[in-house]
Structure 1
Amino acid sequence: MTSPARLDLDPELVRTARRLARHAAAPVVSIARRHTTVSVERATLRLAGLSGADHERVPWVNHLVTAVRDQVGLEHGVTTPVYDALLRGDADDLTTLAQKASSGNVSFRLPTGREEQAARRAAARGVGVGLKRIDSARRTRERLVSRLGDPRQKPWIYLIVATGDIYEDIPQAQAAAREGADVIAVIRSTGQSLLDYVPEGATREGFAGTYATQENFRLMRAALDEVSKELGRYVRLTNYASGLCMPEIAALAGMERLDMMLNDSMYGILFRDINPIRTFVDQRFSRQIHARAGIIINTGEDNYLTTADAVEAAHTVTVSQLLNERFAKEAGLEDWQLGLGHAFEINPDLPDSFRLELAHAMLARQLFPEAPLKWMPPTKHMTGDVFRGYLLDGFFNLVGAMTGQGILLVGMMTEAVVTPFLSDRDLALQNVRYVMNAASGLTEDFHPPRDGFIQTRARQVLGEAVELLERIVHDSDPSGDPPLLAAIADGTFGLMKRPADAGKGLEGVVKRAPGYDNPAITALDAGVPAPKVTAPKVTAPKGGK
């Protein structure tokens, strides 16, 4: 694809924006490094192989972490007391230990001296199995991409499939891939982000989505591998690493070879009222897993524009993108893994709405030139008029073609009316194909005037973003919270006010004690070499659409 036209932005202002984002993020990263959560500890045991659930479908990993916390706390990490119990002969494996712990038949302790060192060595070996499995999955992906090829051109066409029943999702996902979808997203059942456990096994009862479980991941990945071989191009799989179990879902996704994960630094805080500290601790661990696994993250800035005005709040999207970039880079993600979000959500009745959308999309593309970017279709102003909606989606697709977006989520004309039928998806994909075939080279001809409407609007949004970052960094807060947490509490993003000492999951946050040990974090912080993999390249497929 031809490189998109460039805006005449002040490079010093761009550098200032990134420097301010780094300053705003630093105290929050420090907090994340000083705390753990129940989900981080559960994710670590999942890497060590603990799975399964009791007859009430409560995962054994929840039982085991709860038992350790009740007896000795989690301040030193869960793995040392767990592996100490195994070495003392309380059980032969993690599953048996969890089962015994659930009925109160295990006494945990914090060992010292040689016993402590032995437990830590055993824990590192156990967790290392999961990390090796993630490494193996990453190598398998690269091997399949090399053999089958990637889509012929970008943006990758991203389509949502989620009926609630994984066995219904599979044929629909394969059909979508045959019609041209490059990425299949299985959105989660409504409310799963607020469950403090990961459901077990294949599920058939989700509402407005399908539960994210390890078995569902495995089934869908196998189905897409099958259709990838049929089509001669690798079809990617997306799910959601967010909510109260963000670290666990990230670990399961890495082991089951998902390719993309929804993973935003503030989405759970703003739109699910999850405690900010819980979220930032969990997202750092989950992003470290994604970095190791070679997973592309998708961030959720599009959601801000569903609650705030897309013109007035445009600069908050830019600020969030810069913060998401900074948190991601600190966790080890590379530019090619940053599917930073933005959306086509300006009121279409507003004069020059298309020109404004184009300015905002061009700004994002130029600020993050090496990131794929995830371009989201209109939802807020879809009225139920399917003809008008189909036209709006066409304009959205046109902006995506003109500005070189990397990941384009297919808009549905039945948005806000019904859950899309297969026929709706087919029409939506026809819309995308027409626009991409007819206008993908338009970037070669499109060059907005230096001081015209589009250039001026983009510079205005960047300037407002820098002003907001300066306020966040430099304003003092009486509560003593880091400035970014104070800004979140004040409703700066998405008009949602979320204080740092409230929200769901706060009770699951634990301050690390001196001597805290988590072998997964130790390995990830140390940058244990993962397979050397470059950014995915667009190569011609061997066959199929």
Structure 2
Amino acid sequence: MAHQTRLHLDGELVARARRLAVRAGQPVVDLARSRTTVSVERATLRLAGLAGADPDGIPWVNRLVDAVRGDVGIGHGVSLPVFHALAADGHSDLLALAQKAASGAVRFEVPAGAAAVRARELASASVGAGIAAVDARRVERDGLVAEIGDPPQRPWIYLIVATGDIYEDIPQAQAAARAGADVIAVIRSTGQSLLDYVPEGATREGFAGTYATGENFRLMRAALDETSVELGRYIRLTNYASGLCMPEIAALAGLNRLDMMLNDSMYGILFRDINPIRTFVDQRFSRQIHSRAGIIINTGEDNYLTTADAVEAAHTVTVSQLLNEFFAHEAGLPDELLGLGHAFEINPEVPDSFRLELAHALLARELFPDAPLKWMPPTKHMTGDVFRGYLLDGFFNLVGAMTGQGILLVGMMTEAVVTPWLSDRDLALQNVRYVMNACGGLTEDFHPPADGFIATRARVVLGEAIELLERICDDGLLNAIGVGTFGIMKRPADGGRGLDGVEEHQDGYFNPATEILEGRA
């Protein structure tokens, strides 16, 4: 393993940790493979080209899936009933079918025999065209990166822009790129993860963020393409594929050439109280889309440390990273698309807090040497003292430089206190640039001694992670989540939002998107 000698980790212990993560995660994968959700089925119809919303703003994919579900359920998938109705009743396209279904003018059935074969062929061709469009956007990205060029250094500098108004976000995002940001994240409107539909069109009234919609994705990507040409480096765009519509947002991201998506396997469970089963089914499908689209996912382990103590719970971050790695690999994501998260969240009053941060960050770097790790700034212990906050962010940036992180989210001196001013952002970018210019190569020189504080602490955290994984293997991951193992949030498998949108596969379940994404078509 690259660079492993810096912490003197026991290779067999590392391999054991991964084997335990596979054992802990496999039952959840088996569960996800045997179920579907309303959002998985809606995402499939979006790939088939169904778009738009009714006069009340409810997307036609919701209307159509609800109509199918009312007649025959979704346990067979919606593709066979939908494309059977499309062929048998002579509807011009999916939109016309959805409109008639919403008015109650269509009844759905699961076809058999020759009718089923015909419906399967139509569905596969239609969804296949959507996935071909995702493929084309990936080729387009590769061509632009080759033509324009990547940022000259790592880590990539990641900065959040979100006013609620996409037309205000665009000039702010372009200004941020000109000031040095390599990745622009348009944070989602508060509460969107709890909506069981994706708003339609460009939006101008978000709350502490901007709604994730297909049109907002398209507008921002086009604007950042212009800025990429201007600056001579490809600017990446990030949004959030999480919540009750995770698969649909992943599909829209692939169709609109987003480059990164927040996509953690447990964030929605722990911090949005979304049902665990719904989340694991949805995240598997969404990650298959991300893999096909070449989208880097960002996981959310940093959030655990905003609720749990960052020293006592350090090993839960490592466990979650290992589980996220397994779930990602199983869904087809390679290491280079795996932006595992971690954070600089230790109380600065703790003795040796900086050395502890170094140990935790270097442990993540060495456990996942080929992953573009996402290093998150301090938030929990920001007090409103901007001088202290600026110093903390400087220490955070220094850890990122010393440990070779892949993606560095810009910390603001007013983080978690007020909405930062544009001047706060500019000062924060200056902080990053100074540290990276002054000591960005320190990762080559930083080799803590085997018997020193940093290496010893890293080995302790790895050992605690292995002990926790052993308990999870015995008790089950769903039970571990239920008793508050991660982020001290207790989320039982039968609780939370969205469980009513999950159905077990019936005999003959068919989803053309899954067939194509898993190479079975």
**CA–CA distance in structure 2, aligned partners of residues 90 and 269 of structure 1:** 42
Cα distance 1:150–1:4, how it changes in 2: closer, same or farther (>3 A)?
A: farther
Q: Equivalences for 1:56-135 in 2 at 5 Å?
A: 56-135=56-135
Match of 2:509 in 1: 516
CA contact (8 A) 1:4 1:402 kept: no
CA contact (8 A) 1:33 1:281 kept: yes
**CA–CA distance in structure 1, aligned partners of residues 125 and 449 of structure 2:** 60
Please say if 1:310 is aligned against 2:310. Answer: yes
Please say if 1:490 is aligned against 2:476. Answer: no
Q: CA deviation at 1:489?
A: 0.5
Q: CA deviation at 1:135?
A: 0.1
Q: CA deviation at 1:441?
A: 1.7
Letter paired with 1:494: G
Letter paired with 1:191: G
**CA–CA distance in structure 2, aligned partners of residues 511 and 56 of structure 1:** 31
Match of 1:534 in 2: none
Match of 2:211 in 1: 211
Q: CA deviation at 1:318?
A: 0.0
Cα deviation per residue 1:287-344 (whole Å; 9 max; x = unaligned)?
0000000000000000000000000000000000000000000000000000000000
Q: CA deviation at 1:89?
A: 2.4
**CA–CA distance in structure 2, aligned partners of residues 77 and 416 of structure 1:** 43
SS of the counterpart of 1:384? coil
Cα deviation per residue 1:168-224 (whole Å; 9 max; x = unaligned)?
000000000001100000000000000000000000000100000000000000000
CA contact (8 A) 2:372 2:405 kept: yes
Cα deviation per residue 1:24-49 (whole Å; 9 max; x = unaligned)?
01110000000000000000000000
Match of 2:164 in 1: 164
**CA–CA distance in structure 1, aligned partners of residues 516 and 4 of structure 2:** 39
Q: CA deviation at 1:420?
A: 1.6
Q: CA deviation at 1:445?
A: 2.6
Match of 1:504 in 2: 497
Q: CA deviation at 1:414?
A: 1.1
Letter paired with 1:364: A
CA contact (8 A) 2:3 2:366 kept: no
Letter paired with 2:60: W
SS of the counterpart of 1:99? helix
Q: CA deviation at 1:417?
A: 2.5
TM value normalised by structure 1? 0.94
CA contact (8 A) 2:3 2:369 kept: no
**CA–CA distance in structure 2, aligned partners of residues 256 and 224 of structure 1:** 12
Match of 1:146 in 2: 146
**CA–CA distance in structure 2, aligned partners of residues 5 and 353 of structure 1:** 23
Letter paired with 1:491: G
SS of the counterpart of 1:203? coil
Match of 2:391 in 1: 391
Letter paired with 1:387: F
TM value normalised by structure 2? 0.99
Q: CA deviation at 1:474?
A: 2.1
**CA–CA distance in structure 2, aligned partners of residues 280 and 24 of structure 1:** 13
CA contact (8 A) 1:183 1:236 kept: yes
Q: CA deviation at 1:6?
A: 1.5
Q: CA deviation at 1:444?
A: 2.8
**CA–CA distance in structure 2, aligned partners of residues 438 and 3 of structure 1:** 22
Q: CA deviation at 1:12?
A: 0.5
Cα deviation per residue 1:144-190 (whole Å; 9 max; x = unaligned)?
00001100110000000000000000000000000110000000000
**CA–CA distance in structure 2, aligned partners of residues 306 and 152 of structure 1:** 32
Letter paired with 2:268: G
CA contact (8 A) 1:5 1:403 kept: no
**CA–CA distance in structure 2, aligned partners of residues 527 and 263 of structure 1:** 25
Letter paired with 2:513: A
Q: CA deviation at 1:111?
A: 1.0
CA contact (8 A) 1:3 1:444 kept: no
**CA–CA distance in structure 1, aligned partners of residues 487 and 142 of structure 2:** 37
Match of 1:479 in 2: none
Letter paired with 2:385: D
**CA–CA distance in structure 2, aligned partners of residues 440 and 246 of structure 1:** 36
Q: CA deviation at 1:88?
A: 1.1
**CA–CA distance in structure 2, aligned partners of residues 103 and 421 of structure 1:** 48
Please say if 1:291 is aligned against 2:281. Answer: no
Cα deviation per residue 1:461-501 (whole Å; 9 max; x = unaligned)?
000000000011124xxxxxxx0101001110110111111
SS of the counterpart of 1:311? coil
Which stretch shifts more, 231-240 or 87-96? 87-96
CA contact (8 A) 2:50 2:95 kept: yes
Match of 2:415 in 1: 415
Please say if 1:257 is aligned against 2:250. Answer: no
**CA–CA distance in structure 1, aligned partners of residues 325 and 118 of structure 2:** 39
**CA–CA distance in structure 1, aligned partners of residues 315 and 376 of structure 2:** 17
**CA–CA distance in structure 2, aligned partners of residues 494 and 3 of structure 1:** 30
CA contact (8 A) 1:4 1:444 kept: no
Q: CA deviation at 1:246?
A: 0.1
Q: Mark the runs of 5 or more structure 1 residues left unpaired by the alignment.
A: 476-482, 529-545
Cα distance 1:294–1:527, how it changes in 2: closer, same or farther (>3 A)?
A: farther
Match of 2:191 in 1: 191
Which stretch shifts more, 411-420 or 12-21? 411-420
Match of 1:526 in 2: 519
Match of 1:438 in 2: 438
CA contact (8 A) 1:359 1:457 kept: yes
Q: Percent identity?
A: 77
Following TM superposition, where does structure 1 have runs of at least 4 consecutive aligned residues deviating by more than 3 angstroms?
2-5
**CA–CA distance in structure 2, aligned partners of residues 9 and 527 of structure 1:** 40
SS of the counterpart of 2:63? helix
Q: CA deviation at 1:5?
A: 7.3
**CA–CA distance in structure 1, aligned partners of residues 108 and 494 of structure 2:** 30
Q: Mark the runs of 5 or more structure 2 residues left unpaired by the alignment.
A: none
Letter paired with 1:247: P
CA contact (8 A) 2:135 2:293 kept: yes
**CA–CA distance in structure 2, aligned partners of residues 333 and 210 of structure 1:** 27
Match of 1:343 in 2: 343
SS of the counterpart of 1:106? coil
Q: CA deviation at 1:416?
A: 2.1
**CA–CA distance in structure 1, aligned partners of residues 421 and 163 of structure 2:** 10
**CA–CA distance in structure 1, aligned partners of residues 74 and 441 of structure 2:** 56
Please say if 1:334 is aligned against 2:327. Answer: no
CA contact (8 A) 1:372 1:407 kept: yes
CA contact (8 A) 1:262 1:298 kept: yes
SS of the counterpart of 2:291? helix
**CA–CA distance in structure 2, aligned partners of residues 417 and 275 of structure 1:** 30
Q: Equivalences for 1:256-275 in 2 at 5 Å?
A: 256-275=256-275
Match of 1:539 in 2: none
Give the total of aligned pairs. 520
Please say if 1:406 is aligned against 2:406. Answer: yes
**CA–CA distance in structure 1, aligned partners of residues 485 and 89 of structure 2:** 53
SS of the counterpart of 2:237? strand
Letter paired with 2:27: P
CA contact (8 A) 1:5 1:446 kept: no
